[in-house]
Chain A
Amino acid sequence: MSALEKNAPQKSDLLPESLRDDFPILSGDVLDGHPLVFLDNAASTQRPRQVIDAICRVYERDYSNVHRGIHTLSERSTEQYEQAREKVRALIGAEHVEEIVFTQGTTASINLVAQSWGGANLKPGDEILLTAMEHHSNLVPWQQIASKTGAVLRHVPITETGLLDIATLDQLLGPRTRLVALTSVSNTLGTINPISTIAAQAHAVGALVLVDAAQSVPHQPTNVRTMGADFMAFSGHKMLGPSGIGVLYGKRELLDAMPPFMGGGSMIQEVGLESFTPAALPAKFEAGTPPIVPAIAMSAAIDYLSGIGLDAIHRHQQALVKRAYQGLSQITGLRILGPAPEHRAGLVSFAFEKIHAHEFAQVLNDQFGVAVRAGHHCTQPLHATLGITASTRASFYLYNRLADIDRLLEGVAAVQAKFAPQGRRRKARGG
């Protein structure tokens, strides 16, 4: 028995392949000849028929602006939009439905907290603790507010194996730390971070905790209260929903105390020519016409995910990532970024010393129908820490199967053969 077979995933860990039939893009001939092997799910996922149908249904039968009209369609839209909020609350175990603010996505949610909470609370010398593995969207908003307020940014380093070096927390956390903002799952390393442990340490020094949960809410069960999150951000498009919708969770007393971020319609109680009184939560943070249909479609996505079970989805992806990790580790010259499978979510990034990530993405696409991401995945500082400028990332979801991983491995081997140095000589130019 080979090592691969011995560690072969249990059948019971895998979801039935029949669920792929729910995803039109997976069965359509979208690549002119190749079956699609979609392994770019950390960037954005595909949609099941149920979500696509929900979008059509709203536009065909129920659509109107929300919170405005007395007419039937406005009532229907409003009711479904507010039901979506309740679905989100239940999904993440929040206490109150008004703790759920709809935004455009993770990036918008983090910017909201940085500008509103940060603008009102940060003083010169206050510290915000980030980590070395953050997505640009959990770095740049803090850099912006820090330069405005005189707050100081600090960063938790990573260990050799790609875990957060939480031994450093004792030194990094202190009376000046106002906020710890960190990702629950690294979109590049795949590392699953021990949020509740870190949150407990942060709270012990009086700091708040913001969790960038863009890569965890779609893939595993989430409970904001057991995690110890004071704020949490995630995106609909990474969990089978549409783009243009995301969530900011915030503890009620925190959101209540924060000034509004954007001004406009919907977010007001009363407006005069000179001043306004803000509306109550969550409307206070939802200025303007919100992403109505995306929110309703995201709730259809939540129904779909809950129907399968986030525990089961997590187990399925653990089986996939284990297979990918084992397969990739047998390839000489390939460096897997990040920790062993037991510490990682369903993605794996790798780099070759001699072959650029673009070559992998290009040939995997053109010759194998495999969609992967090549580049820095919006984590330039992390890539710099790792001493590389780019990597190739394969990221999985519930509709991927072991055969997809095998196709990936086959493609990687082909790229390696194609671009191995061969002692080529450039032909001299004639004339």
Chain B
Amino acid sequence: MDQEELYQEHILDHYEDPFHRGTLEAATHAHQEKNPLCGDVVRIELELDAQGKICDLYFTGEGCVISQASASMLLEQMHGKTIDDLKQFSADDMLQLYGPRLTPNRQKCCLLSWKVLQSVVHSPVDGAS
């Protein structure tokens, strides 16, 4: 079928060499979600300072190229930004950041990390100040 390559080179680069894959010792917030359709999981841990700036953030997860590469791209994009930036970053922005046009089911893969990031600010880690 004549269609856009879903797995563009820079996406595969993110998949194989992700930005900030790992855990964050100093995390103030953490949240994880699963795509019930396929079992893909993404967890994001982040450190917010008193001014609402995202000092640092890391992700872990398991799943397809789209779900994992998009998480890496999203974290790279949000690193050093503020909560307000994050709230303004819409699902459409996420799909645009990813690039190739996705069918509705694959959009769910791409938006998994975006959903987790939108929720993470409401999930403070126990004991974090």
Interface residues of A (CB under 8 A from B): 31-34, 356-359, 362-363, 365-366, 369, 374-376, 380, 383, 389-390, 418-419, 421-427, 429
Q: Does B101 contact A (CB under 8 A)?
A: no
B39 touches A427 (CB 8 A): no
CA distance A31 to B14 in the complex (A): 30
B55-81: contact bitstring with A at CB < 8 Å (1 yes, 0 no)? 000000011111000001000100000
A358 touches B72 (CB 8 A): no
Q: Does B85 contact A (CB under 8 A)?
A: no
A427 touches B7 (CB 8 A): no
A366 touches B64 (CB 8 A): no
Q: Does B93 contact A (CB under 8 A)?
A: no
CA distance A359 to B17 in the complex (A): 18
Q: A366-B6, A425-B17 are in contact. Are A376 and B38 (CB under 8 A)?
A: yes
B residues less than 8 Å from A429 (CB atoms) = 76
CA distance A380 to B76 in the complex (A): 32
Chain A contact surface mostly: loop
Q: Does B19 contact A (CB under 8 A)?
A: yes
CA distance A429 to B106 in the complex (A): 25
B38 touches A427 (CB 8 A): no
Q: A375-B38, A426-B13 are in contact. Are A362 and B1 (CB under 8 A)?
A: no
CA distance A357 to B64 in the complex (A): 7
CA distance A421 to B16 in the complex (A): 7
Q: Nearest Cβ distance between residue A338 and chain B, in whole angstroms?
A: 19
Within 8 Å by CB of B63, from A33, A356, A365, A376, lies: A356
Interface residues of B (CB under 8 A from A): 1-3, 6-7, 10, 12-19, 37-41, 62-66, 72, 76, 106, 109
Top-6 shortest CB links A-B:
A389-B39, A358-B64, A356-B64, A424-B16, A426-B17, A375-B38
Q: Nearest Cβ distance between residue B75 and chain A, in whole angstroms?
A: 12
Within 8 Å by CB of A383, from B10, B14, B19, B39, lies: B39
A389 touches B64 (CB 8 A): no
CA distance A419 to B16 in the complex (A): 10
Q: A425-B17, A426-B14, A426-B72 are in contact. Are A31 and B1 (CB under 8 A)?
A: yes
B residues less than 8 Å from A374 (CB atoms) = 38
Q: A421-B16, A424-B16, A426-B17 are in contact. Are A362 and B106 (CB under 8 A)?
A: yes
A380 touches B39 (CB 8 A): yes
Other than A358-B66, A358-B109, give 12 A-B pairs with Cβ distance below 8 A.
A32-B1, A358-B38, A358-B65, A359-B7, A375-B38, A389-B40, A419-B7, A419-B65, A422-B16, A424-B13, A427-B10, A429-B76
Identity of the chain B residue whose Cβ is nearest the Cβ of A421 in the assembled complex: B16
Q: Nearest Cβ distance between residue B115 and chain A, in whole angstroms?
A: 17
A376 touches B39 (CB 8 A): yes
Q: Nearest Cβ distance between residue A374 and chain B, in whole angstroms?
A: 7
A residues less than 8 Å from B7 (CB atoms) = 359, 363, 418-419
B1 touches A424 (CB 8 A): no
Q: Nearest Cβ distance between residue A125 and chain B, in whole angstroms?
A: 32
Query: Which among A358, A369, A418 has the highest number of chain B CB atoms within 10 Å?
Result: A358
B12 touches A424 (CB 8 A): yes
A33 touches B39 (CB 8 A): no
A residues less than 8 Å from B3 (CB atoms) = 366
A residues less than 8 Å from B40 (CB atoms) = 356, 389-390
A residues less than 8 Å from B10 (CB atoms) = 426-427
B residues less than 8 Å from A427 (CB atoms) = 10, 13
B residues less than 8 Å from A418 (CB atoms) = 7
